[in-house]
Amino acid sequence: MKPLCVVAFVLSIAALGCEEKIKPTVAEVPVADIPSQESWNSVITISDSAKVRVVLWAGYIAKYADKYYTLLDDSLHVDFYDDHEQHSSLLTARRGSVDDRTHDFAAYKNVVVISDSGTVLKTDSLFWDNATRKIHTKAFVDITSASEHIMGLGMESDQSLKNYKIFRVTGRAITNE
């Protein structure tokens, strides 16, 4: 009786060995969403004709080479320079991006620009055009200088905040009259 048990046991093992193997599922990650380069606590310098225009520091930088786009996150500090490579203003923001073809820059969340002359601009989003070295936004802005406090919806200015134009203005200005 014991030999019959052994044969049944061997047949059950053979039956188990013939089962179809189950392949694990593998989720595909879109290649476009993976950066080609990443860095932490890094500096990017944007120059034109051997002149420094912008020096940008970010806590996290992700470059997407196939999209010609660089993501900047985890706190930004951007120093802007004029044609004589003199510092003109400082921008801070929570996050931003750079168009790698044009070197245009965008800043988002808690954007603050402080010019070397003391003018302060606060907004939620701001865009810098590398070709013209001007900043602009369609968002709400709050600008404070020694002589005025102006708010409005939308603005454009040079990067040093010396010549700015605010659209849909509200606020107050101190005059000599």
72: pLDDT strictly greater than 90: yes
**Alpha carbon distances (Å) from 13 to 6, 17, 21:** 11, 6, 15
Average pLDDT in the chain: 84
For residues 113 and 161, the answer to whether their CB atoms sit within 8 Å is yes
Map out the domains of the chain as residue ranges. Answer: 35-135
Q: Give the rounded percent of residues in the chain with a pLDDT score beyond 90.
A: 53
Q: What is the pLDDT of residue 53?
A: 85
- Nearest CA to 45 out of 130, 172, 110 is that of 130
H/E element holding 7?
helix 2-17
The H or E element containing residue 3 is helix 2-17
CA distance 171 to 71: 35
Pair of tokens at residue 4: 């019959």
Mind listing the pLDDT tens digit for each residue in 155-165?
A: 999 988 989 99
Fold of 35-135: lipopolysaccharide transport protein A fold (2.60.450)
User: What is the band of 174 on the pLDDT scale with cuts at 50, 70, 90?
Assistant: low
**pLDDT interval class at 8 (50, 70, 90):** very low
Report, as an integer, the average pLDDT of 67-76.
Answer: 92
Average pLDDT over residues 5-24: 53
The reported pTM is 0.74
What pLDDT, on a 0 to 100 scale, did the predictor assign at position 9?
47
Which residue spans within the chain are E strands per DSSP? 37-48, 51-64, 69-81, 87-93, 95-99, 105-115, 120-129, 134-144, 148-158, 164-166, 169-173
Q: 68: pLDDT confidence band, cut at 50, 70 and 90?
A: very high
